[in-house]
Amino acid sequence: MKFNTPATTNPIDQLKVVGHPLDRIDGPLKTTGTAPYAYEHHEGVANAAYGHVLGAAIAKGRIASMDLSRAKAAPGVIAIVTAENAGRLDKGSKNTAKLLGGPDIEHYHQAVAVVVAESFEQARAAAQLIRVDYVKADGAFDLSDARKSATPPTDTQADSARGDFTAAFAAAPVTLDETYSTPDQAHAMMEPHATIAAWTGDKLTLWTSNQMIAWGVDDMAATLGIPKQNVRLVSPFIGGGFGGKLFLRADALMAALGARAARRPVKVALSRPMMFNNTTHRPATIQRIRIGATPDGKITAVGHESWSGDLPGGGPELAVQQTRLLYAGENRMTALRLAVLDLPEGNAMRAPGEAPGLMALEIAMDEMAEKLGMDPIAFRVANDTQVDPEHPDRPFSQRRLVECLQLGAERFGWSARAAQPGRVRDGDWLVGMGVAAAFRNNLVMKSGARVRLDNKGMLTVETDMTDIGTGSYTVIAQTAAEMMGLPLEKVRVRLGDSSFPVSAGSGGQWGGNSSTAGVYAACVKLREAVAQKLGFNSADAVFANGDVRLGNRSVPLTEAAGADGLSGEDTMEYGDLSEKYQQSTFGGHFVEVGVDVVTGEVRVRRMLAVCAAGRILNPKTARSQVIGAMTMGVGAALMEDLKIDKRLGFFVNHDLAGYEVPVHADIPHQDVIFLDETDPMSSPMKAKGVGELGICGVAAATANAIYNATGVRVRDYPVTLDKHLDRLPELS
C-alpha cells in the first residue's frame, strides 16, 4: 500500500481504542519479571556456555603478540576466539569501527577476544589470563585540539546556505556571536548489550537486544559473509536503548563467533565499562552561533557551525539540523565539520542532532532576546515560519510552535518571571524560570506487518518492530483492535523477530507512527479478505463489536474467519511525501530552578512540556516517554559528562557510579500537555513521533532558568556548580 494523500474513510478516526490512555499490555510481564530479555531466553537454548569479551587496553596501536596458553588451560574453557582464528570478517553497512580488533586497535576496549567456558565466572577468570602485548600509537582524544584539522564530512549535507549570511550579519543592527560546547554523553540504559547465539548447521539465531531487527540481520550476514536468510534475530523485549542498540555491536558478533567455535549456544553480556567504551556514545560538540536582527526583533541573519569528532570513516553529530528549520530569517548559513578522534565510536543517542543542537541554539535565542530587550517567548514567536526557511516553496505539514509556547507560558505562570536576572529569592535559593523551543523532525519509514484472524476471534499481529520500553506492543494492539472492531483483549501482538514482516524499527522517533501505519495497511488487507469472503463491499463494511456489518446484515468475525482463519499482510510506503511537505514536531519546555546562593547547587523545582506531535495514539504511554525524555534533558543540563583520559584515550567514568544521571530525588513533578491535533499528511494514523521531542530543548530551558536565577551565563555543558559558584550574587 502506498500512501500519498490523506485517507478519506479512515477507521482509525473512530477512536474507540486508539487515543485512549490504556495501560501497557506488556506491563504485567515487566512488573513480575517474566518478560524474557536477551540474556534470559531459555527456549531452544539448551546447554548454553558463557562468553566473556576481552577489550583492548590501549586506544590506538597494534597487538604485537597474544599469549592464550594460560587461558586455554584454565578450568571450564571451551574455546577462545580472536582475530587470528575468527575467519574473514567484513564490516556491516551500519558499522564505523571493527567489532573485533586485531592486529590493529582503533579504540580503547575494542573487543580483541572472547573466551567461552562452562560458566560465566570461568570465562571471566580465564579472560584475565590472556597476555596481550601492544605497540601503542599516538592518538587524538581532544576535540578542542582536533578542531583546527576538522573537515566537511563526506556522507552528509555538511553545509547549507540561503541569501548572503556574511553581509547580512555584518549589516545587522543587533548581533550575537557566541560559542557553546556539549560533552560526550553515554546512553546508560539499564539492560546491557547482551546476546545468546546458537548455530543449527549453517543457520544462526541470535536472541539479542537490538532496536532495528532488519538492520541487525543485514549487518550480521555481511560481517560473517553468509546469506541473510541464514540469520534470525529475536528481540521481543529491550531494556532501554536510546540509539545505543540501533546497530550490531560486539556482544552479538562475539557470541556468534564463540558459538561457532564452541559448537553450542553461547551467552555474552558486555560489562558496564565495556558498554561505555566498547559501544557508542553521543559525541561532544563545539558550536558557534551568530544571529543578526533588527531592533524590533526580526532575524535577518542566522549562522550555526558545529564541530564534532569520530573514528576514521565515522560521521558528525548533526547539531545544526534544527537551525535549518526552526526560525525565519532571509540570510542563513549552517556548517558541519568532522575531526578524527581515536575515542570509542560516536553515533546516535536520543534525538541525535537536535538534542545537542538545541542545547546551544536555544541559549543563543535567549541571549539575543536579552540584547533586544524582548521577552524570550515573544522573540521566538516573532520569528515563527510556516515554511521551510531554506526552501520556502515547501510548507510544514503542521506547525504549531507558537501555540505550544503561548499555552505553556499561560500554564506555567510565565508572566510572574522577573525579566532581570537574580531578582527572585526563596531564602538562600535564587529562583529563575527558563524556556526553550522543542523541535524534532518527524521521519516516516516504510513499515510492514502481518495480521491473522482465527475462528475464535483472536487477531494476531506479527511485525519485526521492537519495544524499547516505549509501548509499541500497546499502540500496535490498539491500532489492530480499532481497525478490526475488536476489544483489546482479542489482539495478540508478536514483535522483534526477523521472521516477521520488516517494520520501521525503534529509532529516530519514527517507530510508533510508522509501525502502526504498517499494521493499519495489513488490517486493510484483512478487512478486504473478510469482505470478499462474505460478498461485502469492503469500503462500506463496518467492523465493530466483533462483527462485520453491511446494511442490515451482520456476521461475527469468528464465522467470517472460518476453520482455517484469514490473514492480511502489507507494507506502508510514503512515495514523495517528504519532498512535498516538511514534517516536524514542535513543543515548548518550561523549567523553574533554584540555585543555592552559598553552594551553587541547582535544584529543578518545576517542569512543563507542551507538545504538538500529531494524534497521540496513547496519552499514557506518550506522557511516559516525554517525562523520561525531560529527565534525560535535566541530566544533560546538569550532570552528564563522559570524562576523557586524554593521555590514554578512554572514558574514565565508565559505570553508573561515575557517570551521573538524574535519580528520583533530582526530578520534581513533571507536567505534559499534548495539543489536540492530527496531521493527515504524516500517515493514516495522523500521528507523529514524540519520544525524542521530549528531550529537545530541556537542557537549554534549564540553563536559561539558571541564568534567570543568578545572572550568570554558562555556555559549556553540563552546568555544574564550579562553573558559576565564584560569580553568584553576594548573600545579603
Catalytic annotation, residues:
692
Residue 417 grid coordinates: 518571571
Which of helix, strand or coil describes residue 133?
A: strand
Query: SS3 breakdown of the chain: % helix, strand, coil, rounded to 5?
Result: 30, 30, 45
Distance CA 60, CA 134 (A): 9
Cα 635 to the chain's mean position, in Å? Answer: 15
Question: Are the C-beta atoms of residues 548 and 530 closer than 8 Å to each other?
Answer: yes
Show the 3-state SS of 592-657: EEEEECCCCCEEEEEEEEEEECEECCCHHHHHHHHHHHHHHHHHHHHCCCCCEECCCCEECCCCCC
User: Is the omega angle on the peptide bond into residue 295 within 30 degrees of 0, that is, cis?
Assistant: no
Instruction: Note the Cα 481 to chain centre separation in Å.
Output: 28
- Whole-number Å distance between alpha carbons of 476 and 460: 11
Q: What is the Cα 82 distance to its own chain's centre?
A: 32
Contact 441, 584 (CB under 8 A): yes
Phi/psi for 229 (5° steps) reads -70, -10
The answer for residues whose C-beta is within 8 angstroms of residue 88's C-beta and 6 or more apart is: 225
Q: How far apart are CA 183 and CA 20, in angstroms?
A: 39
Q: How would you class 65 by CB atoms within 10 Å of its CB: exposed for 0-12, middle for 13-18, buried for 19 or more?
A: exposed
Q: Could you give the residue ranges of the DSSP H alpha helices within 209-344?
A: 213-224, 250-262, 272-278
- Per DSSP, helices labelled H in 239-325 are 250-262, 272-278
CB atoms within 10 A of CB 29: 15
Q: 164: which residues sit within 8 A by CB, 6+ positions away?
A: 331
Q: Quick one: how far is CA 272 from the chain centroid?
A: 20
> How many residues are present in the chain?
732
CA 666 to chain centre: 22
DSSP 680: T
Looking at this protein, which amino acid is placed at residue 205? T
| Strand (E) or helix (H) holding 149 | none
* Residue whose grid cell is 490473514: 567
Q: Are 436 and 694 in contact (CB under 8 A)?
A: no
Cβ-contact 592, 610 below 8 angstroms: no
- Phi and psi at 694, nearest 5°, equal -65, -20
For residues 406 and 395, the answer to whether their CB atoms sit within 8 Å is no
Cell 500496535 found at: 476
User: Coil, helix or strand for 346?
Assistant: strand
Q: DSSP 3-state assignment of 123?
A: helix
Q: Which of 417, 410, 412, 411 is nearest to 376 (CA)?
A: 417
Which cell is 564 given?
Answer: 482455517
Strands 670-674 and 602-612: parallel
Question: Which one, of 192, 59, 63, 55, lies nearest residue 124 by Cα?
Answer: 55
Chain centre to alpha carbon of residue 80: 35
CA distances from 471 to 138, 190, 192, 298, 353 (A): 46, 17, 20, 42, 24
